[in-house]
């Protein structure tokens, strides 16, 4: 279980002042994500039935990233040691925490629902209101990412994005850079596989090629191509050249202990984000229908309750 510090509304209770502490535990969504039970409460808590803590954290982070993308509101990732344990009550249903690390703010919320409710009520206006009707689409996107085979990469993007927002320049740059290196390798792997190159040869080749050689081959073979009509995720030749330039920044960080500038982090963020979108395409996930549906739901919700 983990709190997302959001307030999930339902039509009958549009503001925290109309809630009781017990209302925060009531589930507004119950389904599955990553092959395990998944629940979201009115108070903004998410819980998974997955017992393996690392898998549970990865599944929750898939939801966190889906929400980040669909609502344009960045959520922080969670690690396996940050998770509280909870029980799902049959009547309601509602989720009750029973074990957690009291040193975490999330656990403070879990232990004192009255404090959580007061905290929500002090947010004027509440920028993270989200109609619970949007949850099925958010969970569906999160579920597809969790089962895509690229789950670790998506979690890596969420970590890098959170570090960028927190001003952790080294963590952010390295996180985005890892995505860039991985997408370069994936592009070459897919290109060579399509030409019936043996996996052992591909693996040996990737080990022997430097990053600069890989980029040169991407350009020479014109590897980065649309994966569907209107696909905007390809890397242009100019962007491939930018990767080569940022490799020097990466080397200074790793070998000289230098801190990247804000501008260098932003450049890495742009390329890392492009890599994340590319991996979504590799997974066969088309983002447009999700954002269109969620935006329609949210616009109606904001209009109905005159929210900012």
Q: What is the pLDDT of residues 265-305, one digit of tens each?
A: 999 999 999 999 999 999 999 999 999 999 999 898 888 77
Question: 140 and 155: one domain?
Answer: no
Lowest mean pLDDT among 53-67, 90-104, 139-153: 90-104
Q: How far is CA 30 from the centre of its chain?
A: 20
Question: 136 and 157: one domain?
Answer: no
Q: Which residues contact 168 (CB under 8 A, 6 or more apart)?
A: none
What does the pLDDT read at residue 303?
A: 85
pLDDT beyond 60 at 60: yes
Q: Give how far Cα 261 sits from Cα of 174, 179, 256, Å.
A: 13, 19, 14
Question: 140 and 9: one domain?
Answer: yes
What does the pLDDT read at residue 62?
A: 96
What does the pLDDT read at residue 11?
A: 47
User: Which residue carries 């890596």 as its tokens?
Assistant: 156
Most trustworthy range by pLDDT among 8-12, 25-29, 48-52, 181-185: 181-185
Question: 190 and 265: one domain?
Answer: yes
What does the pLDDT read at residue 42?
A: 79
Predicted TM-score (pTM) above 0.75: yes
Give me the domain span that covers residue 228.
Answer: 151-282
Question: 22 and 121: one domain?
Answer: yes
What does the pLDDT read at residue 3?
A: 42
Question: 185 and 117: one domain?
Answer: no
Lowest mean pLDDT among 4-8, 10-14, 159-163, 173-177: 4-8
Question: 178 and 130: one domain?
Answer: no
Q: How many CB atoms lie within 10 A of CB 124?
A: 7
Counted domains in the chain: 2
CA distance 104 to 107: 5
Q: Give how far Cα 36 sits from Cα of 88, 142, 168, Å.
A: 14, 12, 33
Question: 144 and 18: one domain?
Answer: yes
Question: 176 and 121: one domain?
Answer: no
Question: 190 and 224: one domain?
Answer: yes
* Mean of pLDDT values over 170-186: 97
- 66 band by pLDDT with thresholds 50, 70 and 90: very high
Question: 33 and 136: one domain?
Answer: yes
pLDDT beyond 60 at 9: no
Mean pLDDT of the chain: 86
pLDDT tens, position by position, 37-52: 999 887 778 889 999 9
pLDDT tens, position by position, 161-175: 999 999 999 999 999
Question: 265 and 136: one domain?
Answer: no
pLDDT beyond 80 at 234: yes
CA distance 134 to 130: 7
What does the pLDDT read at residue 141?
A: 98
DSSP the chain: -EE-S-EEEBTTB-SGGG--GGGGGBEEEEEEETTEEEEEETTSEEEE---SHHHHHHHHHHHHHHHHHHHS-------GGGPPEEEEETTTTEEEEEE--TTSHHHHHHH-HHHHHHHHHH-SS-TTEEEGGGHHHHHHHHHHHHTSS-HHHHHHHHHHHHHHHTT-HHHHHHHHHHHHHHHHHHHHHHHHHHTT--HHHHHHHHHHS-HHHHHHHHHHHT----SSTT---PPPHHHHHHHHHHHHHHHHHHHH-PPPPHHHHHHHHHHHHHHHHHHHHHTT---HHHHHHHHHHHHHHHHHHT--
């Amino acid at each position: 279980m983990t709190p997302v510090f959001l307030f999930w509304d339902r039509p009958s209770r549009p503001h925290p002042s109309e809630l009781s502490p017990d209302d925060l535990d009531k589930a507004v969504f119950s389904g599955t994500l990553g092959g395990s039970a998944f629940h979201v409460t009115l108070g903004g808590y998410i819980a998974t039935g997955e017992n393996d803590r690392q898998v549970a954290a990865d599944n929750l982070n898939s939801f966190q990233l889906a929400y980040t993308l669909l609502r344009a509101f960045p959520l922080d990732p969670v690690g396996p040691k940050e998770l509280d344990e909870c029980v799902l009550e049959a009547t309601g249903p509602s989720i009750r925490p029973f074990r957690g690390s009291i040193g975490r703010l999330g656990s403070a919320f879990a232990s004192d629902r009255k404090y959580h409710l007061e905290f929500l009520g002090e947010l004027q206006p509440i920028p993270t209101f989200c109609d619970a009707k949007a949850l099925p689409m958010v969970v569906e996107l999160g579920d597809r990412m969790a089962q895509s085979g690229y789950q670790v990469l998506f979690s890596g993007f969420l970590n890098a994005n959170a570090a960028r927002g927190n001003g952790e320049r080294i963590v952010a740059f390295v996180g985005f850079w890892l995505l860039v290196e991985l997408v370069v390798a994936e592009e070459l792997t897919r290109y060579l596989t399509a030409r019936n190159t043996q996996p052992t040869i591909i693996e040996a080749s990737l080990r022997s090629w430097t990053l600069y050689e890989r980029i040169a081959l991407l350009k020479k073979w014109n590897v980065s191509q649309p994966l569907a009509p209107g696909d905007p995720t390809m890397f242009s030749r100019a962007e491939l050249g930018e990767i080569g330039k940022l490799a020097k920044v990466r080397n200074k960080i790793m070998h000289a202990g230098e801190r990247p500038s804000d501008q260098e982090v932003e450049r890495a963020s742009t390329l890392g984000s492009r890599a994340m979108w590319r991996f979504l395409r590799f997974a066969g996930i088309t983002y447009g229908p999700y954002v269109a549906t969620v935006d329609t739901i949210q616009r109606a919700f904001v209009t109905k309750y005159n929210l900012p």
